[in-house]
């Protein structure tokens, strides 16, 4: 194997909890909610699919949002519209918070790397293995990698909103392989979604799956990748 591609959310990084996400947004806005109401609102927002990166599919998504949701990762505009649209299914006392919530999820501080991410990425770099990040996303995640000191270990990014195509479309994986100068048949794709990340298999990539869990519950799921490249 000459290169490894990684998904972002649920693979290398995990978004903060819905409760933390809402709490940080309220704090930044100078707003406050009683604790029981805050917790109830956080649960409702997550169930609506409004919490980007959580991996939770929306429950009862309105028909008028269905097409938008399906294409949400193809552009920054669609991504914002889909997630703020889902959030608006949950009544908030302050309507301006829907956009503030969306902005919060893009903050580097909202993300935590999995415990073994740094070790795996740095070891691959030391072995001369190319590293790419292939993500369905509507914003630039590079600052998240820089904030957490992992950017030096990544050689290329293939982000859906920058190319107008989203996983599992093989074209997005092809972009990453080309950027790394790697034959897809000598590439491992690591991700948490069998549907989305499994699309790499159409190019001949080997695919390895991890579980989308809180960082405290998944300390070493990335380490087997080092054996795969050997």
Q: pLDDT (tens digit, 9 = 90+) per residue, 22-60?
A: 999 999 999 999 999 999 999 999 999 999 999 998 988
Res 173 pLDDT > 90: yes
Residues 155-174, mean pLDDT to the nearest whole number: 98
List the CATH number of the domain containing 134: 3.40.50.1000
Q: What is the dihedral of CA 213, 101, 148, 217, to 10 degrees?
A: -10
pLDDT at res. 42: 97
Res 162 pLDDT > 90: yes
pLDDT at res. 154: 98
Of 159, 125, 151, nearest to 3 by C-alpha is 125
Same structural domain, 136 and 221: yes
What mean pLDDT is reported for the chain?
97
Total domains, the chain: 2
Same structural domain, 96 and 44: yes
Do 226 and 116 touch, CB atoms closer than 8 A?
Answer: no
- Share of residues in the chain with pLDDT > 70 (%): 100
For 171, the domain range is 3-14+111-229
Burial class (CB in 10 A: 0-12, 13-18, 19+), 14: buried
What's the full length of the chain, in residues? Answer: 230
Taking the C-alpha atoms of residue 32 and residue 50, their distance in angstroms, rounded to an integer, is 20
Half-sphere exposure of 133 (CA within 13 A, CB side): 25
Return the residue matching tokens 């649960």: 43
pLDDT in tens, 62-76: 898 999 999 999 999
pLDDT at res. 60: 82
């Amino acid at each position: 194997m000459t290169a490894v591609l990684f998904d972002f959310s649920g693979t290398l990084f995990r978004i903060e909890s819905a409760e933390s996400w809402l709490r940080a947004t309220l704090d930044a806005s100078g707003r406050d909610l009683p604790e029981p109401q805050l917790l109830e609102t956080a649960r409702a927002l997550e169930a609506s699919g409004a919490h980007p990166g959580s991996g939770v599919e929306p429950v009862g998504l309105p028909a008028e949002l269905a097409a938008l949701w399906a294409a949400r990762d193809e552009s920054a505009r669609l991504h914002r519209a889909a997630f703020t649209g889902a959030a608006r299914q949950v009544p908030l006392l302050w309507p301006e918070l829907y956009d503030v919530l969306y902005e919060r999820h893009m903050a580097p501080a909202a993300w935590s790397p999995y415990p073994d991410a740094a070790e795996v990425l740095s070891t691959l770099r030391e072995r001369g293995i190319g590293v790419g990040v292939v993500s369905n996303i509507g914003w630039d995640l590079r600052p998240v990698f820089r904030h957490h000191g992992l950017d030096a270990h990544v050689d290329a990014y293939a982000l859906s909103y920058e190319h107008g195509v989203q996983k599992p479309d093989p074209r997005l994986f092809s972009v990453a392989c080309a950027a790394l100068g790697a034959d897809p048949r000598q590439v491992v794709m690591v991700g948490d979604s069998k549907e989305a990340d499994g699309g790499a298999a159409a190019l001949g990539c080997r695919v390895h799956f991890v579980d989308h869990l809180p960082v405290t519950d998944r300390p070493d799921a990335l380490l087997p990748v080092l054996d795969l490249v050997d």
